[in-house]
Amino acid sequence: MSDPPYATGQVVGRPSLGDVGEFGVIDALRKRLSSSSLVAVGPGDDAAIVQAPDGRIVATTDTLVDRVHFRTDWADAYDIGRRAAATSLADVSAMGATGTALLVALSAPIDTSVEWTMRLADGISDEANLVGAVVAGGDLSRANTVSLTVTAIGDLAGRSPVLRAGARAGDVVALAGRLGWAEAGLAVLSRGFSSPRALVSAYRRPEPPYDLGPVAAKAGATAMVDVSDGFLGDLGHIARASRVVAHVETDKFDVSDPIAAVAAAYGTDPLTWVLTGGQDHALVATFGSARDLPAGFVAVGWIDDQHLGDEEREEDEESADGLKSPGAVLVDGVPFAGEPGHRHF
């Protein structure tokens, strides 16, 4: 990488976290955060108190590490904050729930600027506010690398959670939200460019269809997952958990113009970005019939009752490297040739 393609805000700067000190930073952060009737005790005590009107909570945690999940020279603090919050809140939505509160653990070098940290907090807070959630607590630690762990709490409002394991033969596989945009944006940034801006923005700040998680649950979705590691990989999680085979029809996917244009310029197959690119946080759900699909979902395949044979499944689960094969998803009738999605290791 040469120079960053545009100004993203300095991570290092004065006054720094070290200049202001832990409690000074925490006080400044607290003043920027919004409050919520669902958070009885917010930041500043040993723990937060979050209302759980449903009598259960949905809870999920995700870590984003500098140079692994984001780059501070490719996105400013505000967008990194938006993305960190989105990553966890999309998981809540994929259970059919609505986010109520976030806990944010930030590790950062001592010379990280206070301004950068405040903009990060603003991004997290604004993304949370999209679903009515607020930051209820957190932790601030010294480390050599910037790293963010966001825990999201959500409420099911009396609905049953939509799990990965509920897909049944005959179900329709449906998609809500964008695929491939973030991956194409990453490809653009990786080559030192900053346009098409629509793709770069999609990488920097995903727009998960939060509302459609609860909508799908109400419409009777039998299984659901958010696409964080790639459509085929995440649909594979549903297929394996449900012990079914998922069929995907590629002619059901729109390859939008900017993705097609960039793929042509880079000599890449745009469909690979669409099928395996992560981090747009689309929702994939299965429904009992095409009539059940709520607005916002598009049918892209179906669930087959042909299980993997026992022998095949055993091999699948016990494969020498511990990796599960993507055999439970067929693309236009055949196994996908490449990696079905992103693996962290």
Q: By CB under 8 A, what part of segment 14-73 binds a second copy?
A: 17-25, 27-28, 40-41, 44-65, 68-69
Positions in 153-182 near a second copy (CB under 8 A): 153-154, 156, 161, 163-165
Nearer to a second copy, 22 or 254 (CB): 22
Question: Binders of a second copy: how many residues, by CB under 8 A?
Answer: 80
Please tell me whether residue 122 binds a second copy under the rule CB under 8 A.
no
Nearer to a second copy, 54 or 115 (CB): 54
Positions in 62-121 near a second copy (CB under 8 A): 62-65, 68-69, 91-92, 94-95, 97, 101, 103-105, 107, 110
Q: Are 307 and 244 in contact (CB under 8 A)?
A: yes
Interatomic CA distance for residues 173 and 171, integer angstroms:
7
Cβ neighbors of 304 (< 8 A, separation 6 or more) are 169, 244, 245, 246, 247, 330
Interatomic CA distance for residues 223 and 216, integer angstroms:
9
Positions in 222-261 near a second copy (CB under 8 A): 224-226, 241
In residues, how long is the chain? Answer: 345
CA distances from 233 to 73, 188, 230, 328, 336 (A): 28, 23, 5, 10, 10
Please tell me whether residue 144 binds a second copy under the rule CB under 8 A.
yes
In whole angstroms, how close is the CB of 271 to a second copy at the nearest point? Answer: 24
For the chain, report the end-to-end CA distance as a whole number of angstroms: 23
In whole angstroms, how close is the CB of 145 to a second copy at the nearest point? Answer: 6
Q: Are 151 and 64 in contact (CB under 8 A)?
A: no
In whole angstroms, how close is the CB of 112 to a second copy at the nearest point? Answer: 9
Nearer to a second copy, 83 or 199 (CB): 83
Phi, psi angle pair for 100, to nearest 5°: -120, -35
In whole angstroms, how close is the CB of 222 to a second copy at the nearest point? Answer: 14
Interatomic CA distance for residues 253 and 274, integer angstroms:
8
Nearer to a second copy, 197 or 343 (CB): 343
With vertex at residue 223, the alpha carbon angle to CA 272 and CA 126, rounded to the nearest 5 degrees, is 75
In whole angstroms, how close is the CB of 153 to a second copy at the nearest point? Answer: 6
Positions in 259-288 near a second copy (CB under 8 A): none
SS3 of residue 157 by DSSP: coil
In whole angstroms, how close is the CB of 164 to a second copy at the nearest point? Answer: 5
Interatomic CA distance for residues 300 and 121, integer angstroms:
37
In whole angstroms, how close is the CB of 214 to a second copy at the nearest point? Answer: 13
Nearer to a second copy, 149 or 222 (CB): 149
